[in-house]
Structure 1
Amino acid sequence: MTLCEAEKTFVLHGVEENFRIDGREREDYRPMELETDIVSHAFGSARLRLANTDVLVAVKIEVDTPFPERPFEGKLEFFVDCSANATPDFEGRGGEDVAIEISNTLSAAYHSPKVFDLRKLCILKGRKCWKIFVDILLLECGGNLFDAVSLAVKAALWNTQVPLIRQIDIDGNNVELKVSELSDCQRLDVKTAPVMVTVCKIGEHCIVDPNVAEEQCSVGSIVVSVSENKFSTVLQTGTGSLHSSTLLDCLKLGYKVAQRLDDALWSTLSKIQPTEDVGFLK
Protein backbone atom coordinates (compact mmCIF):
# COMPACT_ATOMS: atom_id res chain seq x y z
CA MET A 1 0.00 0.00 0.00
CA THR A 2 1.37 3.36 -1.07
CA LEU A 3 -0.04 6.60 0.33
CA CYS A 4 -0.41 9.82 -1.61
CA GLU A 5 0.67 13.16 -0.12
CA ALA A 6 -2.88 14.04 0.95
CA GLU A 7 -3.20 10.76 2.87
CA LYS A 8 0.16 11.29 4.56
CA THR A 9 -0.92 14.79 5.59
CA PHE A 10 -4.12 13.36 7.05
CA VAL A 11 -2.12 10.86 9.12
CA LEU A 12 0.28 13.61 10.26
CA HIS A 13 -2.51 15.91 11.39
CA GLY A 14 -4.17 13.07 13.29
CA VAL A 15 -0.96 12.35 15.22
CA GLU A 16 -0.56 16.04 16.03
CA GLU A 17 -4.09 16.11 17.48
CA ASN A 18 -3.47 12.86 19.42
CA PHE A 19 -6.28 11.22 17.46
CA ARG A 20 -4.91 8.68 15.00
CA ILE A 21 -6.74 7.47 11.89
CA ASP A 22 -8.13 4.42 13.71
CA GLY A 23 -9.23 6.40 16.76
CA ARG A 24 -6.27 5.60 19.03
CA GLU A 25 -4.10 7.99 20.99
CA ARG A 26 -0.35 8.09 20.45
CA GLU A 27 0.49 5.57 23.20
CA ASP A 28 -2.33 3.11 22.50
CA TYR A 29 -2.08 -0.36 20.98
CA ARG A 30 -4.54 -2.02 18.66
CA PRO A 31 -6.57 -4.99 20.00
CA MET A 32 -4.64 -8.23 20.48
CA GLU A 33 -5.66 -11.88 20.56
CA LEU A 34 -3.39 -14.54 22.06
CA GLU A 35 -3.61 -18.34 21.91
CA THR A 36 -1.13 -20.81 23.37
CA ASP A 37 -0.51 -24.54 22.98
CA ILE A 38 -2.05 -24.72 19.53
CA VAL A 39 0.57 -26.73 17.60
CA SER A 40 0.24 -30.33 18.69
CA HIS A 41 3.69 -31.57 17.62
CA ALA A 42 5.62 -28.68 19.24
CA PHE A 43 6.94 -28.45 22.81
CA GLY A 44 5.33 -25.03 23.08
CA SER A 45 3.47 -22.67 20.77
CA ALA A 46 1.57 -19.41 20.59
CA ARG A 47 -0.35 -17.39 18.06
CA LEU A 48 -0.75 -13.65 18.44
CA ARG A 49 -2.92 -11.41 16.31
CA LEU A 50 -2.35 -7.67 16.60
CA ALA A 51 -5.11 -6.16 14.46
CA ASN A 52 -4.06 -7.27 10.94
CA THR A 53 -0.67 -8.61 12.00
CA ASP A 54 -0.75 -12.36 12.60
CA VAL A 55 2.22 -14.32 14.03
CA LEU A 56 2.56 -18.02 14.80
CA VAL A 57 5.43 -19.35 16.94
CA ALA A 58 6.33 -23.00 17.55
CA VAL A 59 9.13 -24.19 19.85
CA LYS A 60 11.07 -27.43 19.36
CA ILE A 61 13.68 -28.95 21.67
CA GLU A 62 16.44 -31.46 21.05
CA VAL A 63 19.59 -32.68 22.80
CA ASP A 64 22.80 -31.13 21.46
CA THR A 65 26.45 -30.50 22.37
CA PRO A 66 27.35 -27.17 24.01
CA PHE A 67 29.71 -24.75 22.31
CA PRO A 68 33.32 -25.41 23.45
CA GLU A 69 33.71 -21.83 24.67
CA ARG A 70 30.44 -22.06 26.65
CA PRO A 71 30.36 -25.56 28.15
CA PHE A 72 27.80 -24.66 30.83
CA GLU A 73 25.19 -23.22 28.46
CA GLY A 74 22.46 -24.56 26.21
CA LYS A 75 21.49 -23.12 22.84
CA LEU A 76 18.69 -20.90 21.58
CA GLU A 77 18.08 -20.21 17.89
CA PHE A 78 15.43 -18.18 16.09
CA PHE A 79 14.12 -18.85 12.58
CA VAL A 80 11.68 -16.51 10.84
CA ASP A 81 9.63 -17.41 7.78
CA CYS A 82 7.62 -14.77 5.95
CA SER A 83 4.54 -16.18 4.25
CA ALA A 84 4.10 -14.92 0.71
CA ASN A 85 0.45 -14.33 1.56
CA ALA A 86 1.31 -11.99 4.45
CA THR A 87 1.93 -9.02 2.19
CA PRO A 88 2.79 -8.51 -1.50
CA ASP A 89 6.21 -7.25 -0.36
CA PHE A 90 7.11 -10.81 0.73
CA GLU A 91 6.58 -12.38 -2.70
CA GLY A 92 9.64 -14.05 -4.18
CA ARG A 93 12.63 -13.24 -1.98
CA GLY A 94 11.12 -10.05 -0.63
CA GLY A 95 10.69 -11.37 2.91
CA GLU A 96 14.26 -12.59 3.41
CA ASP A 97 15.65 -9.25 4.60
CA VAL A 98 12.80 -8.81 7.07
CA ALA A 99 13.23 -12.37 8.35
CA ILE A 100 16.96 -11.92 8.88
CA GLU A 101 16.48 -8.58 10.62
CA ILE A 102 13.88 -9.96 13.03
CA SER A 103 15.86 -13.13 13.85
CA ASN A 104 19.07 -11.13 14.44
CA THR A 105 17.23 -8.66 16.66
CA LEU A 106 15.73 -11.49 18.72
CA SER A 107 19.14 -13.13 19.09
CA ALA A 108 20.62 -9.86 20.32
CA ALA A 109 17.70 -9.24 22.69
CA TYR A 110 18.04 -12.71 24.28
CA HIS A 111 21.85 -12.73 24.35
CA SER A 112 22.35 -11.62 27.96
CA PRO A 113 22.08 -14.27 30.72
CA LYS A 114 20.16 -11.69 32.77
CA VAL A 115 17.46 -11.81 30.09
CA PHE A 116 17.37 -15.55 29.36
CA ASP A 117 19.73 -17.83 31.27
CA LEU A 118 21.05 -20.50 28.92
CA ARG A 119 22.86 -22.20 31.81
CA LYS A 120 19.54 -23.69 32.86
CA LEU A 121 19.56 -25.64 29.59
CA CYS A 122 22.85 -27.40 30.40
CA ILE A 123 22.50 -31.14 31.04
CA LEU A 124 26.14 -32.28 31.36
CA LYS A 125 29.03 -29.81 31.28
CA GLY A 126 30.63 -29.72 27.84
CA ARG A 127 28.80 -32.87 26.75
CA LYS A 128 25.04 -32.45 26.55
CA CYS A 129 22.57 -29.58 26.59
CA TRP A 130 19.11 -28.66 25.40
CA LYS A 131 18.88 -26.78 22.13
CA ILE A 132 15.74 -24.69 21.65
CA PHE A 133 14.51 -23.86 18.15
CA VAL A 134 12.02 -21.00 17.98
CA ASP A 135 10.26 -21.07 14.61
CA ILE A 136 8.32 -17.93 13.73
CA LEU A 137 5.85 -17.72 10.86
CA LEU A 138 4.52 -14.34 9.76
CA LEU A 139 1.03 -15.16 8.50
CA GLU A 140 -0.15 -11.61 7.89
CA CYS A 141 1.59 -8.26 8.01
CA GLY A 142 -0.42 -5.26 9.16
CA GLY A 143 2.42 -3.21 10.63
CA ASN A 144 4.48 -3.40 13.83
CA LEU A 145 6.02 -6.83 13.28
CA PHE A 146 8.70 -6.59 15.97
CA ASP A 147 6.28 -5.99 18.84
CA ALA A 148 3.93 -8.77 17.76
CA VAL A 149 6.78 -11.25 17.25
CA SER A 150 8.36 -10.51 20.64
CA LEU A 151 5.07 -11.05 22.49
CA ALA A 152 4.32 -14.25 20.58
CA VAL A 153 7.84 -15.60 21.24
CA LYS A 154 7.62 -14.88 24.96
CA ALA A 155 4.20 -16.53 25.17
CA ALA A 156 5.43 -19.59 23.23
CA LEU A 157 8.51 -19.97 25.47
CA TRP A 158 6.26 -19.62 28.53
CA ASN A 159 4.13 -22.43 27.12
CA THR A 160 7.16 -24.66 26.40
CA GLN A 161 7.53 -27.89 28.37
CA VAL A 162 11.09 -29.18 28.87
CA PRO A 163 11.42 -32.90 29.72
CA LEU A 164 13.17 -33.77 32.98
CA ILE A 165 16.39 -35.79 32.91
CA ARG A 166 15.81 -38.99 34.88
CA GLN A 167 19.14 -40.72 34.36
CA ILE A 168 22.53 -40.09 32.74
CA ASP A 169 24.67 -43.08 31.69
CA ILE A 170 28.28 -42.38 30.67
CA ASP A 171 30.37 -45.00 28.86
CA GLY A 172 33.57 -43.39 27.61
CA ASN A 173 32.60 -40.87 24.96
CA ASN A 174 29.02 -42.12 24.83
CA VAL A 175 26.40 -40.38 26.91
CA GLU A 176 22.89 -41.77 27.14
CA LEU A 177 20.03 -39.83 28.63
CA LYS A 178 16.73 -41.06 29.97
CA VAL A 179 14.09 -38.35 29.95
CA SER A 180 10.69 -38.10 31.53
CA GLU A 181 7.38 -38.48 29.77
CA LEU A 182 5.80 -35.39 28.20
CA SER A 183 3.30 -35.37 31.01
CA ASP A 184 6.11 -34.78 33.51
CA CYS A 185 7.99 -31.69 32.37
CA GLN A 186 8.98 -28.26 33.63
CA ARG A 187 8.34 -24.84 32.16
CA LEU A 188 11.04 -22.44 31.03
CA ASP A 189 11.71 -19.41 33.19
CA VAL A 190 10.82 -16.48 30.92
CA LYS A 191 9.92 -13.87 33.53
CA THR A 192 12.78 -11.64 32.35
CA ALA A 193 12.38 -12.42 28.64
CA PRO A 194 12.34 -9.14 26.68
CA VAL A 195 9.41 -7.32 25.12
CA MET A 196 9.98 -5.16 22.05
CA VAL A 197 8.32 -1.82 21.40
CA THR A 198 8.53 0.04 18.09
CA VAL A 199 8.50 3.81 18.47
CA CYS A 200 7.98 5.95 15.36
CA LYS A 201 8.32 9.70 15.00
CA ILE A 202 5.62 11.29 12.85
CA GLY A 203 5.83 15.05 12.64
CA GLU A 204 6.84 16.35 16.06
CA HIS A 205 5.46 13.44 18.05
CA CYS A 206 6.32 9.80 18.81
CA ILE A 207 3.81 6.96 18.58
CA VAL A 208 3.76 3.24 19.35
CA ASP A 209 2.21 0.33 17.47
CA PRO A 210 2.27 1.94 14.01
CA ASN A 211 0.04 0.45 11.34
CA VAL A 212 1.15 0.13 7.71
CA ALA A 213 0.02 3.66 6.80
CA GLU A 214 1.77 5.22 9.78
CA GLU A 215 4.99 3.34 9.05
CA GLN A 216 5.08 5.04 5.66
CA CYS A 217 4.69 8.45 7.31
CA SER A 218 7.44 7.92 9.87
CA VAL A 219 10.57 10.07 9.55
CA GLY A 220 12.47 7.65 11.78
CA SER A 221 11.83 4.77 14.15
CA ILE A 222 13.56 2.61 16.72
CA VAL A 223 12.81 -0.78 18.26
CA VAL A 224 13.63 -1.01 21.96
CA SER A 225 13.84 -4.35 23.72
CA VAL A 226 13.13 -4.10 27.45
CA SER A 227 13.66 -6.78 30.07
CA GLU A 228 12.12 -5.82 33.41
CA ASN A 229 13.86 -2.52 34.26
CA LYS A 230 16.62 -2.46 31.66
CA PHE A 231 17.19 -2.27 27.91
CA SER A 232 18.53 -5.43 26.28
CA THR A 233 18.92 -3.96 22.77
CA VAL A 234 18.02 -0.91 20.69
CA LEU A 235 17.62 -1.07 16.92
CA GLN A 236 17.05 1.76 14.46
CA THR A 237 14.84 0.76 11.54
CA GLY A 238 14.07 2.46 8.26
CA THR A 239 16.18 5.04 6.47
CA GLY A 240 15.43 8.17 8.50
CA SER A 241 17.51 9.63 11.32
CA LEU A 242 16.59 10.95 14.75
CA HIS A 243 17.94 13.91 16.70
CA SER A 244 19.57 13.02 20.01
CA SER A 245 16.77 14.64 22.01
CA THR A 246 14.16 12.80 19.94
CA LEU A 247 16.01 9.53 20.45
CA LEU A 248 15.92 10.09 24.20
CA ASP A 249 12.17 10.74 24.05
CA CYS A 250 11.70 7.54 22.04
CA LEU A 251 13.68 5.52 24.58
CA LYS A 252 11.65 6.89 27.48
CA LEU A 253 8.37 6.17 25.69
CA GLY A 254 9.48 2.69 24.63
CA TYR A 255 10.62 1.84 28.16
CA LYS A 256 7.34 2.97 29.72
CA VAL A 257 5.15 1.21 27.15
CA ALA A 258 7.20 -2.02 27.27
CA GLN A 259 6.65 -2.34 31.01
CA ARG A 260 2.93 -1.77 30.56
CA LEU A 261 2.84 -4.29 27.71
CA ASP A 262 4.74 -6.91 29.71
CA ASP A 263 2.36 -6.53 32.65
CA ALA A 264 -0.61 -7.02 30.32
CA LEU A 265 0.99 -10.13 28.80
CA TRP A 266 1.65 -11.73 32.18
CA SER A 267 -1.84 -10.92 33.32
CA THR A 268 -3.20 -12.69 30.23
CA LEU A 269 -0.90 -15.72 30.55
CA SER A 270 -1.84 -16.18 34.21
CA LYS A 271 -5.48 -16.59 33.17
CA ILE A 272 -4.81 -19.26 30.54
CA GLN A 273 -5.89 -22.72 31.65
CA PRO A 274 -4.60 -25.97 30.06
CA THR A 275 -7.01 -27.33 27.47
CA GLU A 276 -7.14 -30.29 25.12
CA ASP A 277 -7.96 -30.60 21.45
CA VAL A 278 -8.25 -26.90 20.78
CA GLY A 279 -6.38 -24.60 18.43
CA PHE A 280 -6.60 -24.17 14.70
CA LEU A 281 -3.82 -26.68 13.94
CA LYS A 282 -5.15 -29.60 16.00
Structure 2
Amino acid sequence: MRPPSPSIPEREFLFTALKQSLRLDGRSPLEMRTPSLIFGPEFGWVECSLGKTRVIASVDGKMVKPPPERPFEGIITIQSEISPMASSEYEVGRTSDEEVTLTRILDKILRRSDVVDKESLCILAGQRVWQLRLTIHCLADAGNLLDCACLAGIVALKHFRRPEVEVIGDEVTVHAATERAPLPLSLHHTPFCLTFALFPESTSSTSSTSTPVIITILDPSLLEYRLATGFLHVAMNAQRELCVVQKAGGVPLALDQLLPLIKDVAVTKVRELDAFVESRMKDDWEGRRKLVEVS
Protein backbone atom coordinates (compact mmCIF):
# COMPACT_ATOMS: atom_id res chain seq x y z
CA MET A 1 0.00 0.00 0.00
CA ARG A 2 1.10 3.55 -0.65
CA PRO A 3 2.18 5.58 2.36
CA PRO A 4 -0.24 8.23 3.62
CA SER A 5 0.02 11.65 2.08
CA PRO A 6 1.63 14.44 4.15
CA SER A 7 -0.78 15.70 6.77
CA ILE A 8 -2.24 19.20 6.80
CA PRO A 9 0.01 20.31 9.73
CA GLU A 10 3.08 19.04 7.86
CA ARG A 11 2.02 20.90 4.74
CA GLU A 12 1.33 24.17 6.57
CA PHE A 13 4.54 23.92 8.62
CA LEU A 14 6.64 23.38 5.48
CA PHE A 15 5.02 26.26 3.60
CA THR A 16 5.45 28.59 6.58
CA ALA A 17 9.13 27.67 6.85
CA LEU A 18 9.76 28.15 3.12
CA LYS A 19 8.22 31.63 3.20
CA GLN A 20 10.89 32.51 5.78
CA SER A 21 13.64 30.95 3.59
CA LEU A 22 13.99 28.09 6.05
CA ARG A 23 14.09 24.36 5.32
CA LEU A 24 13.40 21.49 7.68
CA ASP A 25 16.91 20.02 7.31
CA GLY A 26 18.63 23.35 7.98
CA ARG A 27 19.72 24.06 4.40
CA SER A 28 19.30 27.37 2.65
CA PRO A 29 16.80 27.42 -0.27
CA LEU A 30 19.46 26.97 -2.98
CA GLU A 31 21.80 24.65 -1.08
CA MET A 32 22.40 21.04 -2.16
CA ARG A 33 22.93 18.09 0.08
CA THR A 34 26.55 16.92 0.16
CA PRO A 35 27.11 14.20 -2.48
CA SER A 36 29.30 11.17 -1.91
CA LEU A 37 30.73 8.56 -4.29
CA ILE A 38 31.89 5.02 -3.55
CA PHE A 39 33.62 3.12 -6.34
CA GLY A 40 33.40 -0.64 -6.66
CA PRO A 41 36.26 -3.04 -7.37
CA GLU A 42 35.25 -3.19 -11.03
CA PHE A 43 35.42 -0.28 -13.44
CA GLY A 44 32.05 1.29 -14.18
CA TRP A 45 30.43 0.53 -10.79
CA VAL A 46 29.65 3.42 -8.45
CA GLU A 47 27.35 4.09 -5.51
CA CYS A 48 26.18 7.68 -5.23
CA SER A 49 24.49 9.28 -2.23
CA LEU A 50 22.76 12.64 -1.98
CA GLY A 51 21.88 12.92 1.65
CA LYS A 52 19.97 9.70 2.38
CA THR A 53 19.06 9.18 -1.28
CA ARG A 54 21.22 6.31 -2.60
CA VAL A 55 21.67 5.02 -6.14
CA ILE A 56 23.96 2.40 -7.69
CA ALA A 57 25.00 2.76 -11.33
CA SER A 58 26.87 0.16 -13.34
CA VAL A 59 28.06 -0.02 -16.94
CA ASP A 60 28.75 -3.19 -18.90
CA GLY A 61 29.58 -3.71 -22.54
CA LYS A 62 29.41 -6.41 -25.17
CA MET A 63 30.05 -6.67 -28.91
CA VAL A 64 26.99 -6.75 -31.17
CA LYS A 65 26.13 -6.18 -34.81
CA PRO A 66 25.08 -2.57 -35.46
CA PRO A 67 21.77 -1.69 -37.12
CA PRO A 68 22.01 -1.19 -40.90
CA GLU A 69 21.06 2.50 -40.70
CA ARG A 70 23.98 3.27 -38.31
CA PRO A 71 26.83 0.91 -39.23
CA PHE A 72 29.58 3.13 -37.74
CA GLU A 73 28.05 3.83 -34.31
CA GLY A 74 27.92 1.91 -31.07
CA ILE A 75 24.74 1.39 -29.08
CA ILE A 76 23.90 2.84 -25.66
CA THR A 77 20.93 1.75 -23.56
CA ILE A 78 19.78 3.03 -20.17
CA GLN A 79 17.70 1.05 -17.69
CA SER A 80 16.46 2.16 -14.28
CA GLU A 81 14.84 0.24 -11.46
CA ILE A 82 13.14 1.61 -8.36
CA SER A 83 12.45 -1.35 -6.11
CA PRO A 84 10.43 -1.44 -2.87
CA MET A 85 13.80 -1.24 -1.10
CA ALA A 86 13.88 2.45 -2.04
CA SER A 87 10.46 3.23 -0.54
CA SER A 88 7.25 1.48 0.38
CA GLU A 89 5.60 3.67 -2.25
CA TYR A 90 6.94 1.38 -5.00
CA GLU A 91 5.52 -2.07 -5.69
CA VAL A 92 7.16 -5.29 -6.88
CA GLY A 93 6.71 -6.01 -10.59
CA ARG A 94 4.89 -2.76 -11.27
CA THR A 95 6.55 0.12 -13.13
CA SER A 96 5.73 3.38 -11.40
CA ASP A 97 5.27 6.76 -13.08
CA GLU A 98 8.39 7.98 -11.29
CA GLU A 99 10.46 5.17 -12.81
CA VAL A 100 9.21 5.96 -16.33
CA THR A 101 9.94 9.68 -15.88
CA LEU A 102 13.38 8.94 -14.44
CA THR A 103 14.36 6.74 -17.39
CA ARG A 104 13.11 9.23 -19.98
CA ILE A 105 14.96 12.20 -18.53
CA LEU A 106 18.17 10.20 -18.04
CA ASP A 107 17.91 9.11 -21.67
CA LYS A 108 17.70 12.77 -22.74
CA ILE A 109 20.64 13.82 -20.60
CA LEU A 110 23.04 10.89 -21.00
CA ARG A 111 22.20 9.45 -24.43
CA ARG A 112 20.52 12.03 -26.66
CA SER A 113 22.97 14.79 -25.69
CA ASP A 114 25.79 12.63 -27.12
CA VAL A 115 27.77 12.23 -23.93
CA VAL A 116 29.61 9.21 -25.37
CA ASP A 117 31.27 9.37 -28.77
CA LYS A 118 29.32 6.57 -30.46
CA GLU A 119 31.70 6.35 -33.42
CA SER A 120 34.55 5.50 -31.05
CA LEU A 121 32.58 2.37 -30.10
CA CYS A 122 32.82 1.01 -33.64
CA ILE A 123 35.09 -2.04 -33.97
CA LEU A 124 34.42 -3.25 -37.51
CA ALA A 125 32.08 -1.08 -39.59
CA GLY A 126 28.75 -2.76 -40.21
CA GLN A 127 29.81 -5.93 -38.38
CA ARG A 128 30.80 -5.30 -34.77
CA VAL A 129 30.36 -2.42 -32.37
CA TRP A 130 30.29 -2.03 -28.60
CA GLN A 131 26.89 -1.97 -26.92
CA LEU A 132 26.99 -0.21 -23.55
CA ARG A 133 24.26 -0.72 -20.99
CA LEU A 134 23.92 1.72 -18.10
CA THR A 135 21.83 0.26 -15.28
CA ILE A 136 20.51 2.43 -12.45
CA HIS A 137 19.37 0.77 -9.20
CA CYS A 138 17.64 3.08 -6.71
CA LEU A 139 18.32 1.87 -3.17
CA ALA A 140 16.76 4.65 -1.08
CA ASP A 141 14.43 7.49 -2.02
CA ALA A 142 14.84 10.44 0.32
CA GLY A 143 13.90 12.93 -2.37
CA ASN A 144 15.39 14.01 -5.71
CA LEU A 145 16.22 10.61 -7.17
CA LEU A 146 16.82 12.14 -10.59
CA ASP A 147 19.86 14.26 -9.69
CA CYS A 148 21.40 11.40 -7.72
CA ALA A 149 20.80 8.93 -10.57
CA CYS A 150 22.22 11.34 -13.16
CA LEU A 151 25.34 11.94 -11.07
CA ALA A 152 25.81 8.20 -10.57
CA GLY A 153 25.27 7.52 -14.28
CA ILE A 154 27.76 10.07 -15.61
CA VAL A 155 30.40 9.00 -13.07
CA ALA A 156 29.88 5.34 -14.00
CA LEU A 157 30.46 6.20 -17.67
CA LYS A 158 33.62 8.15 -16.82
CA HIS A 159 34.86 5.34 -14.59
CA PHE A 160 34.14 2.51 -17.06
CA ARG A 161 36.96 0.87 -19.01
CA ARG A 162 36.45 -1.34 -22.06
CA PRO A 163 38.88 -4.03 -23.25
CA GLU A 164 41.32 -3.07 -25.97
CA VAL A 165 40.42 -4.62 -29.31
CA GLU A 166 42.81 -5.38 -32.16
CA VAL A 167 41.46 -5.74 -35.71
CA ILE A 168 43.49 -7.42 -38.44
CA GLY A 169 41.45 -7.78 -41.62
CA ASP A 170 38.18 -9.36 -40.54
CA GLU A 171 39.71 -10.93 -37.43
CA VAL A 172 38.88 -9.27 -34.12
CA THR A 173 40.97 -9.97 -31.01
CA VAL A 174 39.78 -8.83 -27.57
CA HIS A 175 42.69 -8.45 -25.15
CA ALA A 176 42.22 -9.32 -21.49
CA ALA A 177 43.02 -6.73 -18.84
CA THR A 178 46.11 -8.75 -17.86
CA GLU A 179 47.49 -8.39 -21.40
CA ARG A 180 46.67 -4.78 -22.20
CA ALA A 181 45.25 -2.01 -20.06
CA PRO A 182 41.51 -1.38 -20.66
CA LEU A 183 40.58 1.88 -22.34
CA PRO A 184 38.30 4.66 -21.04
CA LEU A 185 35.30 5.80 -23.04
CA SER A 186 35.60 8.81 -25.31
CA LEU A 187 33.23 11.40 -23.79
CA HIS A 188 32.21 14.64 -25.47
CA HIS A 189 31.09 16.28 -22.23
CA THR A 190 29.85 15.48 -18.72
CA PRO A 191 26.41 16.96 -17.94
CA PHE A 192 24.95 17.13 -14.44
CA CYS A 193 21.28 17.52 -13.54
CA LEU A 194 19.87 19.99 -11.02
CA THR A 195 16.26 19.84 -9.84
CA PHE A 196 14.45 22.90 -8.50
CA ALA A 197 11.15 22.44 -6.65
CA LEU A 198 8.62 25.24 -7.15
CA PHE A 199 6.11 26.48 -4.58
CA PRO A 200 3.67 29.38 -5.06
CA GLU A 201 4.05 31.87 -2.23
CA SER A 202 0.32 31.65 -1.56
CA THR A 203 -1.83 28.54 -1.85
CA SER A 204 -4.76 30.75 -2.85
CA SER A 205 -5.40 31.69 -6.47
CA THR A 206 -3.32 34.58 -7.80
CA SER A 207 -4.38 37.26 -10.22
CA SER A 208 -3.85 36.37 -13.85
CA THR A 209 -2.61 39.91 -14.56
CA SER A 210 0.42 39.70 -12.24
CA THR A 211 3.34 37.33 -12.15
CA PRO A 212 2.96 35.06 -9.11
CA VAL A 213 5.77 34.96 -6.58
CA ILE A 214 7.44 31.56 -6.70
CA ILE A 215 9.48 30.03 -3.89
CA THR A 216 12.29 27.99 -5.45
CA ILE A 217 14.43 25.43 -3.65
CA LEU A 218 17.26 23.26 -4.96
CA ASP A 219 17.59 19.51 -4.35
CA PRO A 220 14.22 18.90 -2.62
CA SER A 221 13.94 16.40 0.22
CA LEU A 222 11.23 13.73 0.13
CA LEU A 223 8.59 15.86 1.90
CA GLU A 224 9.45 18.89 -0.23
CA TYR A 225 9.28 16.75 -3.36
CA ARG A 226 5.82 15.44 -2.48
CA LEU A 227 4.40 18.87 -1.68
CA ALA A 228 5.98 20.81 -4.56
CA THR A 229 3.59 22.22 -7.15
CA GLY A 230 6.10 22.07 -10.00
CA PHE A 231 9.68 21.18 -10.90
CA LEU A 232 12.41 22.60 -13.09
CA HIS A 233 15.09 20.17 -14.29
CA VAL A 234 18.26 21.73 -15.69
CA ALA A 235 21.06 19.62 -17.18
CA MET A 236 24.30 21.44 -17.95
CA ASN A 237 28.00 20.73 -18.28
CA ALA A 238 30.96 22.63 -16.83
CA GLN A 239 31.41 24.48 -20.14
CA ARG A 240 28.04 26.20 -19.51
CA GLU A 241 26.34 24.29 -22.32
CA LEU A 242 22.68 23.54 -21.68
CA CYS A 243 21.68 19.96 -22.45
CA VAL A 244 18.14 19.72 -21.11
CA VAL A 245 15.70 22.21 -19.60
CA GLN A 246 12.41 20.63 -18.62
CA LYS A 247 9.61 22.02 -16.50
CA ALA A 248 6.91 19.86 -14.95
CA GLY A 249 3.81 20.98 -13.10
CA GLY A 250 1.41 23.87 -13.44
CA VAL A 251 3.38 26.63 -11.74
CA PRO A 252 4.03 29.48 -14.22
CA LEU A 253 7.65 30.56 -14.36
CA ALA A 254 8.53 33.89 -15.98
CA LEU A 255 11.72 34.40 -17.95
CA ASP A 256 13.17 36.75 -15.33
CA GLN A 257 12.59 34.00 -12.76
CA LEU A 258 14.08 31.24 -14.94
CA LEU A 259 17.29 32.90 -16.17
CA PRO A 260 18.87 33.57 -12.73
CA LEU A 261 18.37 29.91 -11.79
CA ILE A 262 20.33 28.86 -14.88
CA LYS A 263 22.93 31.64 -15.20
CA ASP A 264 23.76 32.02 -11.50
CA VAL A 265 22.77 28.91 -9.56
CA ALA A 266 23.11 26.11 -12.11
CA VAL A 267 26.44 27.29 -13.54
CA THR A 268 28.02 27.50 -10.09
CA LYS A 269 26.64 24.20 -8.80
CA VAL A 270 27.60 22.29 -11.96
CA ARG A 271 31.17 23.53 -11.75
CA GLU A 272 31.32 22.43 -8.12
CA LEU A 273 29.98 18.98 -9.04
CA ASP A 274 32.46 18.66 -11.90
CA ALA A 275 35.39 19.51 -9.62
CA PHE A 276 34.09 17.09 -6.98
CA VAL A 277 33.81 14.23 -9.49
CA GLU A 278 37.28 14.87 -10.91
CA SER A 279 38.74 14.88 -7.40
CA ARG A 280 37.05 11.60 -6.43
CA MET A 281 38.06 9.97 -9.74
CA LYS A 282 41.67 11.02 -9.15
CA ASP A 283 41.60 9.61 -5.59
CA ASP A 284 40.18 6.31 -6.86
CA TRP A 285 42.81 6.07 -9.59
CA GLU A 286 45.63 6.78 -7.11
CA GLY A 287 44.28 4.11 -4.76
CA ARG A 288 44.19 1.53 -7.55
CA ARG A 289 47.69 2.44 -8.69
CA LYS A 290 49.10 2.03 -5.18
CA LEU A 291 47.31 -1.29 -4.82
CA VAL A 292 48.92 -2.57 -8.03
CA GLU A 293 52.36 -1.40 -6.88
CA VAL A 294 52.00 -3.19 -3.54
CA SER A 295 50.85 -6.41 -5.16
Does the alignment reach a TM-score above 0.5?
A: yes
Counterparts in 2 of 1:75-224, with a 5 A limit? 75-93=75-93, 95-112=95-112, 115-170=115-170, 176-183=171-178, 184-190=181-187, 192-202=189-199, 203=201, 204-224=214-234
Could you give the per-residue CA deviations for residues 119-162 of structure 1, whole angstroms, max 9, x where no partner exists?
11111222211110111111111100111001111111121111
Paired positions, count: 268
d(CA) in 2 for partners of 1:91, 1:117: 36
1:37 partnered with 2:31: no
Could you give the per-residue CA deviations for residues 76-104 of structure 1, whole angstroms, max 9, x where no partner exists?
10011111121111114554332222222
Aligned to 1:10, which of 8, 13, 17? 13
Q: TM-score, normalised by structure 2?
A: 0.82
Structure 1, 204-213 or 241-250: larger mean CA deviation: 241-250
Do the aligned partners of 2:81 and 2:137 also contact (CA within 8 Å) in 1?
Answer: yes
Do the aligned partners of 1:222 and 1:250 also contact (CA within 8 Å) in 2?
Answer: no
What is aligned with 2:46? 46
The residue type paired with residue 254 of structure 2 is S
What is aligned with 1:72? 72
RMSD: 2.4
SS in structure 1 of the partner of residue 101 of structure 2: helix
Distance 1:168 1:234, change over 3 A: farther
SS in structure 1 of the partner of residue 68 of structure 2: coil
Could you give the per-residue CA deviations for residues 194-230 of structure 1, whole angstroms, max 9, x where no partner exists?
1111111123321111001111231210211112321
Do the aligned partners of 1:146 and 1:223 also contact (CA within 8 Å) in 2?
Answer: no
Identity %: 25
Aligned to 1:257, which of 265, 269, 275? 269
What is aligned with 1:241? 251
Do the aligned partners of 1:198 and 1:221 also contact (CA within 8 Å) in 2?
Answer: yes
Distance 1:29 1:162, change over 3 A: same
SS in structure 2 of the partner of residue 158 of structure 1: helix
What is aligned with 2:31? 28
Structure 1, 204-213 or 226-235: larger mean CA deviation: 226-235
d(CA) in 2 for partners of 1:86, 1:70: 38
The residue type paired with residue 176 of structure 2 is E
The residue type paired with residue 271 of structure 2 is Q
1:57 partnered with 2:69: no
d(CA) in 2 for partners of 1:200, 1:55: 20
Distance 1:94 1:213, change over 3 A: farther
Deviation at 1:113, TM superposition (A): 6.2
Deviation at 1:66, TM superposition (A): 2.0
Distance 1:241 1:24, change over 3 A: same
The residue type paired with residue 10 of structure 1 is F
The residue type paired with residue 46 of structure 2 is A
Asked which structure has the greater RCO (Cα within 8 Å, sep 6+), the reply is 1
Unaligned runs of 5+ in 1: 171-175
d(CA) in 2 for partners of 1:257, 1:110: 18
SS in structure 2 of the partner of residue 242 of structure 1: coil
The residue type paired with residue 124 of structure 1 is L
Unaligned runs of 5+ in 2: 202-213
- Look at both structures and tell me which one has the larger radius of gyration over its CA atoms: 2
Q: TM-score, normalised by structure 1?
A: 0.85
The residue type paired with residue 219 of structure 1 is T
What is aligned with 2:243? 232
Deviation at 1:10, TM superposition (A): 2.2
